[in-house]
Structure formats: structure tokens, C-alpha cells
Structure 1
Amino acid sequence: MNLTKFMQEYNILKKTPRTGWLSCAVPLAEVKSVAEHILDTTTIAMLLIETFKENGYSVNSSRVLKLALIHDWAEMRILDIPYTSKKYFTNKLGIEESALRDILGESGFCEDITEEYIGLCKSKGHGLEGKIVGVADLLSMFFEHIELRKRGFRSRELDDHYKNCKDDIKKYCRGYEFLNDILADIDAEIQSYE
């Protein structure tokens, strides 16, 4: 593996804005980078691991944390695709897999690691560990909604984005009723800024 080559490409994520916020009328200067989102998602995933364990679940922590760290690596090449544009990418998962495979291959990752990382990315939203990362990814956006509202940002697009995120998270939370308390706290916090 050529760590120098990989990190030079990874640094793109520090400069790549989360473009969905731009379509919600949030100025570019206020938008987090993809790298910041990855850190938020990984931190939330780490805390969710403990929440799931406290509720009697056996969680493969390493799998969760690896997936949280790599879930948006393909954006080094394809950049961040906003929610409003996803319907135009009928093969988004295939595009992401191809981009990630190229990134890892060109950085000299061995075939075993490449296949492990591709498999992890495909598992997002599936199985316990994949669902934890799916929840963490969306919770990262919920917490960003709170921060934006604290700073006075309001728009119909922002409200629509929040509603879409709420709809999306439902599929990950089925069967994990203890997550409803977290979602209720977030919703109450967001409503307090209306």
C-alpha cells in the first residue's frame, strides 16, 4: 500500500463540501466537508455501539468503525451527490464501488483488503453493523440540522431535507425501539428552534 498516494487523494475529502446543504440554501462557508461528516459519523457510530450493547446486542465494533470510516471514501472521486440528485444515479452503488476499487487499487491496497472494504461498503444499511452505520450517517445530518437552526438557518428546503432524513432513518430503526428516545430528543431540540 502506498500510504502517501492514498492520503493525498483522501485529503480531497477535507475540501469537498457536503453538497446537499448547499441545495438547502446553506452558504458554502457554513457547510461541513465530507471528511468532517465521516468523523461525525464514526464518533456517533462508536457511541451507538455502546447503546446497542447496553440493550443486549452483540456488536462487531471493528466492523462498525471500519465501515463508518470508509462509507464515503468513494467521494474522493465522485464527490458528494446530494439527496436531490440521487434519483438520476440509477446505479449509484455500482459507481461508488467502481470508484472505491480504483482508489484502493491505484493506492496499492492488496486484493484482500480491497475486497474487505468493498464488502463493508455494500453492507451499509444491512445487518446489525450496517444498520448502526446507516443510523450514525443520518444522525450526523440530524445534528447538523440542530447546529444550522441554532445559527438561524431556515428554509423550506432545509425542512424538506430534515423530513427526508426522518423518513430514511425509519428503515434502520425498526426493531430497535431504544433508538426512538434518541430521535425524540433530536426532534425536540430541532423544534425548539422553530
Structure 2
Amino acid sequence: MSGDFSKMIEFMTLIGQLKRVQRTGWVRSNITRPESVADHMYRMAILAFLVDPASGLDKDRCIKLALVHDMAESMVGDIAPSDGISKEEKHKKEEAAMGYISSLVESSVGREIYCLWKEYEDQSSAEAAYVKDLDKFEMILQAYEYEQLEDKPKCLEEFFASTKGKFQTDQVKQWVESLESVRSNPKTS
């Protein structure tokens, strides 16, 4: 039993590490207080609650996918495209991390965590595609918030540009349009 508990503590500690891993894009953009990976995953999970009931998507599955999609970053960090690591190498590192992380919990829970991560990585379901859209949307929403907080309108355009034409789901496409409209037409006081 103590061995199982020590594994559980290691699991919890690794997951807790996500609160201290800052999102690379914000660090490189010199954001004053950049969000952590855990911050990002939390808001994605909350956004998943908002899935349109008419979409036929499994809301609980979307929430779970949002909660595990970046879990490997507790071990490998937030690897950005500009880091010079190939997609294949990044995937290999994250897959090894997820194998280890999922081995620290009861086997059925570990399998579920690993399978959810793999589903997201492979984009093998409609829920995974929706959560991928949430991932990109949460990033541009955060960029907009940083622009507002730092009083530098449109200073983070590169993040918006990187997502142009990449959204797949109607609901998130509507959110993006609304966000772009708000961003383009700021209220005047």
C-alpha cells in the first residue's frame, strides 16, 4: 500500500508541476505574468462545459480531454514550434512522459488518462477536434486579455495569425468571429 501511495504522491506532484510551467509563447512575448500550463488547461476544461448540446458531442469526454491534453508538459515542458524540436521528437517525448505519468495511478485510471491523451494527439474523435479548437481559442482569448491588461492593442497579432483558418467546429468558429469583432472594435470610453 505504501508503494501505491508513494506513486500517487509522485503523480500528484507531477500534475502540480503544471502550475509552475509557464506557457512558452507568453514568456517569449515578455508578458509580465504569463499563465501556467495548468491555468490554460483549467480554462479549456471550463470552456468544454459550454459545448453546444445540439452538437452531439460528449461534454464529459471533452472536459476530460481538456484536462489531460497537456499533462506531459509536467515532465517535458511547454515545447513550442520555435524550439527547433521536430513534431515527431516532441510526440516521442510526450508519449514517454504520458506512459510514465499514467503508470503512477491505478491501472484502469492510467489507461483512461493515456487513451484520452492519445485520442487528442491522434485527433481520432469529434470531441478531440472540438478540444483542439478550444486549445487554439483559449490561446487567442488569452492573447486578447494580455493585450488589454498591458494596454497594447493588437501587440500579440502573431498568435491570432497562427490560428487563421485552422478552426474546425462551428461553435468555436463563432466564438473566434465574436472575439475578432470585439478586438477590432474596442469600446471607447
1:88 and 2:74 equivalent?
no
Shift of 1:154: 5.7
- Partner residue in 2 for 1:185: 178
Shift of 1:192: 3.2
Consecutive unaligned residues of structure 2, counting only runs of 5 or more, are none
1:67 and 2:60 equivalent?
no
Report if aligned partners of 2:26, 2:34 keep a CA contact under 8 Å in 1: yes
1:118 and 2:114 equivalent?
yes
TM superposition score normalised by structure 1: 0.81
- Identity among equivalent pairs (%): 22
Farther-moved stretch of structure 1 (139-148 vs 85-94): 85-94
Shift of 1:180: 3.0
For 1:44 and 1:146, how far apart are their aligned partners in 2?
A: 16
For 2:154 and 2:60, how far apart are their aligned partners in 1?
A: 39
- Partner residue in 2 for 1:31: 34
- Partner residue in 1 for 2:95: 97
Report if aligned partners of 2:21, 2:36 keep a CA contact under 8 Å in 1: yes
CA pair 24-126 structure 1, distance change in 2 beyond 3 A? farther
Q: Please, what is the CA RMSD of the aligned residues?
A: 2.2
CA pair 45-190 structure 1, distance change in 2 beyond 3 A? same
Report if aligned partners of 2:98, 2:114 keep a CA contact under 8 Å in 1: yes
Shift of 1:146: 1.5
For 2:109 and 2:62, how far apart are their aligned partners in 1?
A: 16
Shift of 1:81: 1.2
Shift of 1:89: 4.1
For 1:35 and 1:186, how far apart are their aligned partners in 2?
A: 23
For 1:86 and 1:64, how far apart are their aligned partners in 2?
A: 30
CA pair 190-155 structure 1, distance change in 2 beyond 3 A? closer
1:108-156 alpha-carbon deviations (Å, 9 max, x no partner): x233332322221122233211012111111111210121111224676
Consecutive unaligned residues of structure 1, counting only runs of 5 or more, are none
- Partner residue in 1 for 2:55: 57
Q: The residue matched to 1:123 in structure 2 has which SS? A: helix
